Amino acid sequence: MTAAVHEPLRDWYRAYPPFTVGGSLYAVPPAHRAATAAALAERDCRVHVDIIVDAAGRGLGVSRHELDRARALAPGARIDLHLIVADALPAAATAEIVGATVATAARLGVEAVTMDLARIERCPTATTRSTGPASRSGWSTPPGRASRNFPPASTDPW
């Protein structure tokens, strides 16, 4: 067991197939998040990351730096991101946050980005996974849609 992990994992999760059970990085103190990701990955558990953005655009969940550190300590981790954005945040800011989150997910090899249906329907940042040689990043714009780049913006909470 990695000494920096806040709470030790019990063996009950081994009764299930690998990667059926996952652990939340948001649920542990920030100083323990990267070590927790490594401990989860070593045990074939998923790593769940909550990115929470309040109505002022402030990040309240796992930070980009913490996510980068988690990936560095657990390069083989199966990570999923859960993006939670306050409804009161302006649509343009929400679109930039969704775009930045999806771009970060692609860069880090995250398996899934989960968000509410309204964000998926309203934000013009939808992408599809591409396994073809034409996509160096592994992500491409869906057929029939214009490509969009979303650089980190002033509204980026990370």
Let me know if residue 154 belongs to a domain.
no
Residue 109: alpha-carbon gap to chain centroid: 9
Spatial distance between the Cα atoms of 91 and 88, rounded to a whole number of angstroms:
9
Let me know if residue 151 belongs to a domain.
no
Let me know if residue 44 belongs to a domain.
yes
Amino acid symbol at 158: W
The pLDDT tens digits of the residues spanning 90-131 come to: 888 888 899 889 999 999 999 999 998 878 877 765 444 444
Let me know if residue 148 belongs to a domain.
no
Residue 111 belongs to what H/E stretch? none
Nearest CA among 39, 3, 40 for reference residue 22 = 40
- Contacts by 26-29, CB closer than 8 A, 24 or more apart: 26/50, 26/52, 26/61, 26/62
Contact assessment for residue 35 and residue 70, using Cβ atoms and an 8 Å cutoff: no
The residues, ordered by sequence, that sit 6+ positions from 10 with a Cβ below 8 Å of its Cβ are none
Write the CA distances from 23 to 56, 69, 91, 96, integer angstroms: 28, 16, 31, 27
Spatial distance between the Cα atoms of 81 and 96, rounded to a whole number of angstroms:
16
- Considering the chain, what percentage of its residues have pLDDT values greater than 70? 72
Residue 36 pLDDT > 80: yes
Number of domains the chain is built from: 1
pLDDT for res 6: 52
Let me know if residue 153 belongs to a domain.
no
Let me know if residue 81 belongs to a domain.
yes
pLDDT for res 10: 73
Let me know if residue 152 belongs to a domain.
no
Q: Which residues are bridge partners to 82 per DSSP?
A: 50, 114
Domain assignment of residue 72, given as a range: 11-124+132-140
Let me know if residue 37 belongs to a domain.
yes
The pLDDT tens digits of the residues spanning 79-90 come to: 999 999 999 998
